[in-house]
Structure 1
Amino acid sequence: MLENAAARAVRVVASYACDPLRSPGRAVEEEASRTRSAFQRDRDRILHSTAFRRLKFKTQVFVYHEGDHYRTRLTHTLEVSQIARSLARSLGFDEDLAEAIALAHDLGHSPFGHAGERALQRVATDIGGFDHNTQSLRVVTRLERRYAEFDGLNLTFETLEGIVKHNGPVMPGAPTATGFLLDWAEGAGVDLSTFAPGEAQAAAIADDIAYNSHDIDDGLRAGLFTVDELCAAVPLVRSHVEAIRQRYPDLSLNRLTHEIVRRLITGMVEDALSVAMSRIDAWAPATPDDLRNAGAPVLAFSPAMMEEVDAMRRFLFRRMYRHQRVMAVMDAAERLVEQLYGRLVEDPRELPGEWPSGGTLSGEKLRRTVCDYIAGMTDRYAVAEYERLFDAVSELR
């Protein structure tokens, strides 16, 4: 009976979807699961990984001690996963692969979000730089050390390709085009110049939908801007608010905010689906390679929606990400990460026992190891390590 369970678990999907039964497989060959498809197994390995659990205490916009209700990397990732599955289901893609890529897309984020990433980019400039997308690949191919027979999670070709290319082709000179990524792609047979399969594109646009709409939620909750200020800058929000207030004139701010967010998500999802269905009808793809080589993403916003999304991004950049309150914390976080890096490179004996240190590492290998170690830290662990190493109270307290 069990032998048929995995086959039954594979949904009937479109011909242009990735098929777990036709996957090139994994770097280390393993016996197939009797109860799960290859992509379901990838998803489960990501969910059970140490890096995934750490997302609970990694910054999305607000550091963990600023409030219990703001989004973290973990809650953001779960929201991206839900939207990616919905998109995949509607378009006939493999839902499990879309979910796996969505769950893994932020595993490489450093503590304190993009502030930590900026700090690591600066200190690692002459060793190939630091990019959270490439770091996600390092996590799932090398840094997770759980299994007896291999480092990493030994994910399928399609999941790894999706993690690397979910934001589109990786062009020469891009921040992600590091020596590590290029060497990996050559060994894995991944063409970085093409688009990712549709499942990865679903995860990518789900990320855009989730963070734009939910950052509005968190920004309003934090009091960084008002609904009226948001309406003045983003016509799409204004039209939603007018419709909501006409139907519910006495709605509380909490309920009004939720109505705005849910309508934004619905509108962006429906717009992306409309564009994708139109392109699928026009292109008539028959295989995943047809979408890889299409020359444009199958999942995208219409020009009109893209204008609205850009307006949201500009508003959030100005009124949230560059808000004095947010920047004060992020500037302190950047300094903390840089100081941690300098101290650990100076004295690698301070690295935990499971990390090679002392006389076993030097030069570029030592510095990359320190980057890997810091990138894996949660916000609160980074603060604790800073206070241990420098015997001083962090500015983030």
Structure 2
Amino acid sequence: MNWEQLLSLRRQGDNNKRLRNEQDETRLGFDVDYDRIIFSSAFRSLQDKTQVIPLSKTDFVHTRLTHSLEVSVVGRSLGRLAGKKIIEKHPYLQEVHGYKFNDIGAIVAAAALAHDIGNPPFGHSGEKAIGEYFKTGNGVRFKQQLSDVEYQDIIDFEGNANGFRLLTQNRAGVTGGLRLSNATLGAFMKYPKESLPKKPSDHICDKKFGFFQSEKLIFNDVAEDLGLPFRGSTNTISYGRHPLTFLVEAADDICYTIIDFEDGINLGLISEDYALEYLIKLVKDTINTKKYNSLEFMEDRLSYLRALAINTLIQDAVAIFIANEDSILNGTFDCSLMDKSKYKAQIEDIINLSIQNIYQAQEVVEKEIAGYTIISDILEVYIAALIGKKERNVSNYHKLILRTLPGPYRQTEGSIYEILLNTCSYVASLSDSAAVHIHTKIKGKQL
């Protein structure tokens, strides 16, 4: 891979290459990407989607929206720091093509902003709930009507693939979705492969999948424009990662490690003394003890340690990225940046404590259980209505149900796969509260 190609400003539908030297310096194409994501309805729905605690009623618990904004801020710092080193090492990028280190920060910030845009309500259990409906629930009846890879798409419904769909999906009059630059889409594509074969290797690229069959052609087009290395076969599609994806992933890893932990402390799920001890271990080389001891309130002590911890991990991640640039560019770097961190032991201690005290807390588990039922019931009702419409056997009840669907999700002219996937995408687009509200309505519990 080469940086000039990887920093492509081309957008879906472009006939000609977009040159960095011809960009308006007051609003670069990568800045346009960020703006388009911010103003999208899919991004707005993240304000009421679970990050850690589903349907939390407190003000200081993060949602997918606040998490995404924070990941974007960290990603921008990672991109700028790494970008400065990249430009120094490859001066032709600036001297010949006009790229600047802030461009790389803008790409990573935009991709990081969108990294959770395809995630369903109720956190990662929402993804599993959609898949389980088709794997063990009533949706299993469609298995014989789908190809193996189409069926795998929905039984392993993946927020990353749904995010790529939202960012690129063609609709009547709207070609190319948000029409982001290929550089930003490439940095967004965390797992550049289709759903089968499932986890064919231990390489980080193969951990999950990154696109549905419906976006296969678009995905291929982006990957080829960027010059991503092909890792598939004559029958399967798989590519190496865009190098900047490692920085997007690191931004997410840093934020959920430190900030989910902070949420647990604020909620009282982790004792302050115990938690601060874990954070101090992470920042022992940079902490100003005098300043720390002068902070009277827990919130200020926690804020100080959080800022130090994030900065410590940012510097470490950039150092790892630059040290491994060659293997990242040739596609042989096979793990996340934080897996190589010199702070890996401290990170694992924090994550393990978060798993035990936060992610497996009774409140979280109970709401995730409710989420399974809610998602399954909504899928059942809408799929039955849409299939009934396609087969011209729609009841009056189903006609009423269809009227509650937004226009793009009422279409039944496509295949069974397209109808099922479209319905899954609709359910994934719902906020936690919207899913609860719709479920209450269809169950007749609220008039």
8 Å contact kept, 1:70–1:218:
yes
Residue 248 (1) aligns with residue 258 (2) = no
Q: 2:264 & 2:309 partners in 1: Cα distance?
A: 15
Residue 373 (1) aligns with residue 398 (2) = no
Specify the SS of the correspondent of 2:121. coil
- 2:443 corresponds to: 390
8 Å contact kept, 1:137–1:164:
yes
- 1:318 corresponds to: 356
Specify the SS of the correspondent of 1:95. helix
**CA deviation profile, 1:213-241 (whole Å, cap 9, x unmatched):** 11011111111111333367778359589
Q: 1:181 & 1:216 partners in 2: Cα distance?
A: 36
- 1:307 corresponds to: 345
- 2:187 corresponds to: 162
Q: 2:406 & 2:279 partners in 1: Cα distance?
A: 51
Q: 1:155 & 1:250 partners in 2: Cα distance?
A: 44
In the superposition, relative to structure 1, how do residues 52 and 30 fare at CA in structure 2: closer, same or farther (>3 Å)?
A: farther
Deviation at 1:57, TM superposition (A): 1.3
Q: 2:123 & 2:335 partners in 1: Cα distance?
A: 29
- 1:81 corresponds to: 72
In the superposition, relative to structure 1, how do residues 51 and 195 fare at CA in structure 2: closer, same or farther (>3 Å)?
A: same
- 2:42 corresponds to: 51
Q: 1:18 & 1:299 partners in 2: Cα distance?
A: 23
Q: Bigger CA drift: 112-121 or 358-367?
A: 358-367
* Residue in structure 1 matching 2:13, options 13, 28, 44: 28
- 1:206 corresponds to: 251
Q: Bigger CA drift: 174-183 or 347-356?
A: 174-183
Specify the SS of the correspondent of 2:186. helix
In the superposition, relative to structure 1, how do residues 388 and 196 fare at CA in structure 2: closer, same or farther (>3 Å)?
A: same
* Residue in structure 2 matching 1:61, options 52, 59, 65: 52
- 1:293 corresponds to: 330
Residue 185 (1) aligns with residue 219 (2) = yes
In the superposition, relative to structure 1, how do residues 355 and 98 fare at CA in structure 2: closer, same or farther (>3 Å)?
A: same
The residue identity in structure 2 corresponding to 1:164 is M
The residue identity in structure 2 corresponding to 1:135 is N
* Residue in structure 2 matching 1:216, options 261, 264, 284: 261
Deviation at 1:243, TM superposition (A): 6.8
The residue identity in structure 1 corresponding to 2:128 is R
**CA deviation profile, 1:261-311 (whole Å, cap 9, x unmatched):** 11211221121122233334xx4xxxxxx7432411797234431222222
- 2:320 corresponds to: 275
Q: Bigger CA drift: 237-246 or 125-134?
A: 237-246
Aligned-pair identity in percent equals 24
Q: 2:420 & 2:262 partners in 1: Cα distance?
A: 38
Q: Bigger CA drift: 62-71 or 106-115?
A: 62-71
The residue identity in structure 2 corresponding to 1:371 is C
Deviation at 1:140, TM superposition (A): 0.7
8 Å contact kept, 2:192–2:209:
no
- 2:94 corresponds to: none
Q: How many residues align?
A: 366
TM-score by length of 1: 0.81
Q: 1:298 & 1:324 partners in 2: Cα distance?
A: 32
Residue 110 (1) aligns with residue 137 (2) = no
8 Å contact kept, 1:195–1:293:
no
Residue 260 (1) aligns with residue 272 (2) = no
8 Å contact kept, 2:121–2:429:
yes
Q: 1:266 & 1:173 partners in 2: Cα distance?
A: 36
In the superposition, relative to structure 1, how do residues 344 and 255 fare at CA in structure 2: closer, same or farther (>3 Å)?
A: same
TM-score by length of 2: 0.72
Superposition misfits of 4+ residues, deviation over 6 angstroms: 30-33, 168-171, 232-235, 240-243
8 Å contact kept, 2:295–2:301:
no
Deviation at 1:64, TM superposition (A): 4.1
**RMSD of the TM alignment (CA)?**
3.3
8 Å contact kept, 2:286–2:308:
no
Specify the SS of the correspondent of 2:408. coil
8 Å contact kept, 1:116–1:334:
yes
**CA deviation profile, 1:231-254 (whole Å, cap 9, x unmatched):** 677783595899758941663221
Residue 195 (1) aligns with residue 241 (2) = yes
* Unpaired runs of at least 5, structure 1: 1-14, 284-289
